[in-house]
Amino acid sequence: MQKLKIPVTLDIKRAAQHETCYEGYIVLAQMKRLTVSLASDQGDVDVKLQTGVDPRGLSFLKGQAQVSTLSICQRCNQNVNIDLLADFAYSPVKIGYDDDEENQLPDYYEPIQINEFGEIGLRDLIEDELILEVPLIAMHDEQDCPAAGKDMTWGKIEEVVEEKPNPFAVLKQLKRN
């Protein structure tokens, strides 16, 4: 099956009415906001999307986005493979939707705003989801990291034997004088 490019925007309600499913990809290098926190912009993000209308009459967009990429290991400063996997479920709301409208959404949907044309920023949404999955501190597993085990002995701490004056010694000194 040929992989399709995921569109920039999506008419979410129309797609939902047709119960459209997508399987496609987004070129990782096009996700500039994401790649600033990565060590590579090579490869594609694999995306699976499903739209539909649920029994409550709510349009939804559910999906998964996945990419295997590189970050920098915080222990050895070399590249480390990381897998980003985002699962999401959205239901469209109008711009300037109020709390009431948000509260009507069951909590398994996040609200996604549609613009005046009824569209959502699909690629931006997927990029946002992946940004949330980037680990704050990336590291190799200990057995794979050239610097593992060394960080505990990083910098030698010399044992300092403090020489406290013995108060009685001072007294003896006084007596002697």
Residue list 125-144, contact with Zn ion (CB under 5 A):
140
DSSP secondary structure letters along 78-89 = SEEEEEEEEEEE
Q: Can residue 76 be called a binding residue for Zn ion (CB under 5 A)?
A: yes
Phi, psi dihedral angles at 18 (to 5 degrees): -90, 0
Smallest separation (angstroms) from Zn ion to the CB of 78? 6
Contact stretch for Zn ion (CB under 5 A) within 18-26, 55-63, 70-78, 86-94: 70-78
Q: Can residue 82 be called a binding residue for Zn ion (CB under 5 A)?
A: no
Contacting residue, 73, 120, 130, 138, with Zn ion by CB under 5 A: 73
Q: Is 126 left (phi over 0), alpha (psi -120 to 50) or beta?
A: alpha
Contacting residue, 62, 65, 75, 82, with Zn ion by CB under 5 A: 75
């493979």: which residue's tokens?
A: 81
Total of chain residues touching Zn ion, rule CB under 5 A: 5
Helix and strand numbers (H, E) in the chain are: 5, 8
Contacts of 23 (CB under 8 A, 6+ apart): 1, 3, 4, 47, 48, 49
Smallest separation (angstroms) from Zn ion to the CB of 133? 20
Q: Can residue 62 be called a binding residue for Zn ion (CB under 5 A)?
A: no
Q: Can residue 86 be called a binding residue for Zn ion (CB under 5 A)?
A: no
Contacting residue, 15, 47, 105, 145, with Zn ion by CB under 5 A: 145
């597993």: which residue's tokens?
A: 141
Rg (CA), the chain: 28
* DSSP code at position 154: S
Q: Can residue 123 be called a binding residue for Zn ion (CB under 5 A)?
A: no
Binding site residues, Zn ion, CB under 5 A: 73, 75-76, 140, 145
